[in-house]
Amino acid sequence: MIDLRSDTVTLPTPAMREAMAHAPVGDDVYHEDPTVLALEARAAEILGKEDAVYVPTGTMSNQIALRAHTEPGDMAIMDASAHMAINEGGAAAALSGVTIARMAGRAGIFGAHDVEGALEVPHPFNPPNHSPRPRVVCVENTHNSGGGTIWSLETLSAVAETAGSHGMTLHMDGARLWHAAAASGVPERAFAERFDTVSVCFSKGLGAPVGSALVGSRTLITRARRFKQMYGGGFRQAGVIAAGALYALEHHRERLGEDVANARAFAEALAETDGIEVDLATVQTNIVRFDVTSMEAGDFVDGCHDRGVHMLPGGRHGVRAVMHLGIERADVEVAVGVVREVLAGA
């Protein structure tokens, strides 16, 4: 099976399992797991921040960040199709008591003027305590729903400027920030620079079995650790899995360019296939989003699955394919053949 549904399907390599088997461990709640501490220090270093906290999932990482940035009644500004807005079970409302102002981004990317547009214009008849307090701007880089699109440093900096001028803080959901760095050549820490907190995933394209980290200032991460514990994320001898994440960080970042090239090759072949529409401009990293125009996405992915290629339907005609550690160029070629067979009704 060639599984292109997500880069979360990656399996630990033998060398990664070896590192996990021999990892020194301790109690994470007591802040005594040496492997967790080493992973946190390394993540903070790569992202250019003071501190980091290792958590079980990217969702928990985003949500402890949101909770740390806000108080109930506040408003978070983000793209309408952000993972934090649509894929985290309504956690912003449930756990932080925060409303979301949903920006209509372009392939997930919005600008400073969009942020301005979400804010009330002050007037004596429209006092600031009337509307929810705009508190944090959240940016997803790369943007999953947008097709794995990368935010430019210019746009990030303009949004950061506007957020700052209105007293708002900044959070980046960088689940795939590694891919933004690999594809653009801009180091992760440059993308992270203007942001108070950044969440990164080890369990996606990096290929580790479990975990994410939230990085930021010591003050904010200390506050976030309180919410990690509150949400049930204090996970004892977590060094066993942190070792997989640390291994991935040191050994798998450098190969992400292969995934970007494979996504490009797949998208270009799809663009030449009748019955498929793909916007090549949005194919910037390891994700390919395309529309099947001649049949329902559900039937299409079922047909592909029967022939050994697994992809994710989204909506009536949308399909997502993601490249990762387990996929080689030969697999991409097989997948293209399967797509064409299914569309031809063979």
Residues that bind ligand PLP (CB under 6 A): 57-59, 62, 83, 140, 144, 173, 175, 201, 203, 212
Least Å distance, CB 306 to ligand PLP, is 27
Cα angle for residues 311, 245, 59 (degrees, 5° grid): 60
Least Å distance, CB 59 to ligand PLP, is 3
Nearer to ligand PLP, 144 or 286 (CB): 144
Nearest CA among 105, 112, 167, 170 for reference residue 136: 170
Nearer to ligand PLP, 143 or 336 (CB): 143
Least Å distance, CB 269 to ligand PLP, is 24
Q: How many C-beta atoms surround the C-beta of residue 275 within 10 A?
A: 16
Least Å distance, CB 256 to ligand PLP, is 15
Least Å distance, CB 88 to ligand PLP, is 7
Least Å distance, CB 201 to ligand PLP, is 5
H helices of 74-217, in order, are: 83-86, 91, 112-117, 153-165, 177-184, 188-192
CB 244 within 8 A of CB 224: no
Residue 309 is classified by DSSP as: E
Nearer to ligand PLP, 203 or 285 (CB): 203
Sheet holding 197-201, edge to edge: 51-55, 212-216, 197-201, 169-174, 133-140, 74-79, 99-103
C-alpha 266 chain-centroid distance = 21
Nearer to ligand PLP, 148 or 303 (CB): 148
The residue number whose beta carbon is nearest to ligand PLP equals: 58
Q: How many C-beta atoms surround the C-beta of residue 122 within 10 A?
A: 8
Nearer to ligand PLP, 39 or 269 (CB): 39
Pairing mode of beta strands 287-292, 276-277:
antiparallel
Nearer to ligand PLP, 33 or 173 (CB): 173
